[in-house]
Amino acid sequence: MSRAVDRTRPEVLHRRARTSDGVAIAYTWWRRPSPELLLIAPGFWRSRLARENLFLAEYFVRRGYDVVALDFRGHGDSGGTYTFGASEANDLAAVARELVGVDRAYRRFAVIGLSMGGSIAADALARDRSLDCRALALISSPADVAAVRPHPWKPGALRQVSLKNVARMPRLSAGALLARKPRAVEAISVLSMPKLIVSAEGDWLVDPRHARLLEEAAAPPVEAVHLDLPGSLHADALVRVVPLKILRVLTRWFEKNAPP
- Structural domain of residue 103, as residue ranges? 11-257
- Asked if the structure places residue 52 within a domain, the reply is yes
- Asked if the structure places residue 241 within a domain, the reply is yes
Looking up residue 175, the CATH number of its domain turns out to be 3.40.50.1820
> CA-CA distance, 161 to 158, in Å (whole number)?
6
> CA-CA distance, 141 to 137, in Å (whole number)?
10
- Asked if the structure places residue 199 within a domain, the reply is yes
Q: How many domains does the chain have?
A: 1
Q: Give CA separation, 106 vs 66, 141, 167, 191, in Å.
A: 10, 26, 37, 20
What is the model's pLDDT at position 155?
78
- Asked if the structure places residue 4 within a domain, the reply is no
Residue 28 parent element (H or E): strand 24-31
Task: Name, in order, each residue with C-beta under 8 angstroms of 199's C-beta and a sequence gap of 6 or more.
Answer: 140, 206, 208, 210, 211, 212, 224, 225, 226, 227
User: Is residue 27 within 8 Å of 38, Cβ to Cβ?
Assistant: no
Q: Is the pLDDT of residue 2 over 60?
A: no
- Asked if the structure places residue 26 within a domain, the reply is yes
DSSP helix/strand/coil, 217: helix
What is the model's pLDDT at position 175?
78
- Asked if the structure places residue 1 within a domain, the reply is no
| Residue in 24, 25, 54, 22 with CA at minimum distance from that of residue 40 | 54
- Asked if the structure places residue 101 within a domain, the reply is yes
The lowest-confidence range among 49-58, 156-165, 251-260 is 156-165
Q: What is the mean pLDDT of the chain?
A: 93
| Residue in 190, 68, 195 with CA at minimum distance from that of residue 134 | 195
> CA-CA distance, 43 to 47, in Å (whole number)?
8
pLDDT band at 167 (very low <50, low <70, confident <90, very high): low
What is the model's pLDDT at position 5?
60
| Residue in 10, 126, 119, 96 with CA at minimum distance from that of residue 60 | 10
- Asked if the structure places residue 6 within a domain, the reply is no
Task: Name, in order, each residue with C-beta under 8 angstroms of 239's C-beta and a sequence gap of 6 or more.
Answer: 52, 55, 56, 114, 246
